[in-house]
Every structure is written in structure tokens, then in C-alpha cells.
């Protein structure tokens, strides 16, 4: 095992071939299912390159599949892992009509949260987009109890003290008031902590009854219905790659322009959900 020009961790290589997620691949390695150069290797820190012979369950690795980037409008009532011991539905049940390479979610959405979910087999991009140092923007619409005052909004913007530390600065505004005296709040965060938006608003006494992620890394669910999935456009892919490389979200993708006379391609959608209202609070 040599650190050559294509050196990478063993689990990462297995995941890149579409056999499993990195976490699953690490489990396989520990279980003794992986051979490197004819010997069982149970070390998840092992680094291999293109000169090493890797086998899983005594079978050679398949060739690397083409990279795929899909955007799914995750409905409420689904989890973002492949299997659930409690028998809950997973987002992979929505991919029955998908016939491409194995994909994994980039980040997660709670069971009770709906909205945009990026699915890909590009492990490097997924890692960069979810790394805390990337500060990738995630914009939510939250239906909350009562309308917060200006003092509360300022407190949220500056950061809320939670049990796992103070939240970073974020953007927040009242998007729409309801007839019952509650409201839809738009919140944009750059952290990926578990149930972050719900915990922030619970702490300031405005519990969330509905939560929808409107955009992730500038990718929007606009034009999609619940359960629908589509491939990323060329513009979107350029934008998230630049964002993952550290470019400011407001400038990512702006350097790329289509030549005059060339039409922008329209993304192909896979329809699996039912139609809903496009109004901010209209998706029931």
C-alpha cells in the first residue's frame, strides 16, 4: 500500500464504487470483509492507491460509476437513512423509479421536516458541503407559535445559547403572518447541528409546528412538488462546486455565463408527489 497519486482511504474508495456509504464501508472493513493485496485488512485508516488490489467479499471492486447529482423534495414523514429499526419510511422509497448509480443524502433532514435534499455519489463534494468550515447556507421556512418581536429576532440573529454551545450568527425575518396570530419565519443558518432551527426557536419560546428547508447550498425546491426529484443543472453544479471550494454564496457560479444564442437546459424531473400550492405557507 503506497501513497500514490490516487491515494485515498479504503472506505472512501469502496464508497466511490457505489457499494456502500463510507460509514457502511468502515463497518465492512472492521468485519473482515475487505482484502487489500490478498490480505484481510480491518484498519479503517488504511490508505490505498490505484496500484493496490482491493476485494470485498472476495470479489474485485466494480469500476467507478459516473457521478450523479439529484435534488429531491423530501416530504414530511420520511427519514434520510436507508434503514430504520422503527420501520419508518425512508427517502429511498421515493427513488423506486431511479435506475442510476447508488446515491447518498448530503446532510440530513429530520423525520418531521420537509424540503430540499441533495443526493449524490460524489463523496468529496458531499464532505466539503457538510464540513463545518464550509459555512454552507441552509434556508428554512418555519411555522411558529405567535409572531416574535424585534428584540427576539435580534437575539436569534446574534446567536442562541443551546446545550451544545451558542449558535452562530444567522439571518431571520417574518415571512408571513397567519390569521390565527402565528407566523411563518424565514431562517438562514450556516451550521449543520441536529435539529438546530427547532431548538433555537423553542429556546426563545416560539416552538415550531411545521418546518421546510427551502434551499441548501443555494439549491432550491422551487418548481418541485413533494416526492419529486430532478437532476442538477450545469449552472447549479458549477455553483455548488465553487461554494464547496470556499467561494462566497453570493458570488458562487456568477463567473460562468452561457454564450449568446445558447439556451439553458431544463432539468428533467421525476414526478412522485402530488401538487401543492406554491404560497409560502400553502404546502400543507
Q: Which of 110, 112, 124, 235 is catalytic?
A: 110
Name the burial class of residue 281, with classes exposed (0-12), middle (13-18) and buried (19+) by CB atoms within 10 angstroms of its CB.
Answer: middle
Q: How far apart are CA 266 and CA 204, in angstroms?
A: 42
| Strand 59-60, strand 54-56: pairing | antiparallel
Please calculate the CA angle 94-96-97 and round it to the nearest 5 degrees: 110
Question: Which residues does 7 contact at the CB level (< 8 Å), separation at least 6?
Answer: 47, 48, 49
Active site residue 52: no
Q: Which residues are catalytic, by number?
A: 110
Amino acid at each position: 500500500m503506497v501513497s500514490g497519486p490516487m491515494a485515498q482511504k479504503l472506505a472512501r474508495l469502496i464508497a466511490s464504487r457505489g457499494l456502500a456509504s463510507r460509514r457502511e464501508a468502515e463497518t465492512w472493513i472492521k468485519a473482515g470483509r475487505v482484502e487489500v493485496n490478498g490480505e484481510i485488512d480491518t484498519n479503517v485508516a488504511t490508505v490505498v492507491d490505484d496500484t493496490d488490489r482491493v476485494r470485498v467479499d472476495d470479489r474485485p471492486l466494480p469500476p467507478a460509476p459516473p457521478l450523479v447529482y439529484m435534488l429531491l423534495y423530501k416530504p414530511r414523514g420520511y427519514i434520510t437513512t436507508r434503514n430504520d429499526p422503527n420501520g419508518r419510511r425512508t427517502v429511498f422509497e421515493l427513488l423506486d423509479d431511479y435506475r442510476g448509480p447508488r446515491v447518498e443524502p448530503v446532510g440530513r433532514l429530520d423525520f418531521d421536516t420537509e424540503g430540499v435534499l441533495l443526493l449524490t455519489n460524489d463523496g468529496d463534494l458531499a464532505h466539503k458541503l457538510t464540513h463545518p468550515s464550509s459555512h454552507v447556507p441552509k434556508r428554512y421556512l418555519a411555522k411558529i407559535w405567535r409572531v416574535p418581536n424585534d428584540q427576539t429576532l435580534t437575539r436569534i440573529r446574534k446567536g442562541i445559547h443551546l446545550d451544545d454551545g451558542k449558535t452562530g450568527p444567522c439571518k431571520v425575518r417574518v415571512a408571513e403572518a397567519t390569521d390565527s396570530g402565528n407566523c411563518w419565519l424565514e431562517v438562514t443558518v450556516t451550521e449543520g447541528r441536529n435539529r438546530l432551527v427547532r431548538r433555537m426557536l423553542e429556546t426563545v419560546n416560539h416552538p415550531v409546528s411545521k418546518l421546510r428547508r427551502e434551499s441548501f447550498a443555494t439549491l432550491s425546491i422551487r418548481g418541485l412538488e413533494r416526492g419529486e426529484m430532478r437532476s442538477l443543472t450545469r449552472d447549479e453544479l458549477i455553483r455548488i462546486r465553487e461554494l464547496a471550494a470556499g467561494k462566497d454564496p453570493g458570488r458562487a457560479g456568477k463567473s460562468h455565463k452561457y454564450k449568446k444564442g445558447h439556451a439553458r437546459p431544463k432539468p428533467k424531473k421525476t414526478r412522485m408527489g402530488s401538487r401543492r400550492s406554491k404560497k409560502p405557507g400553502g404546502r400543507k
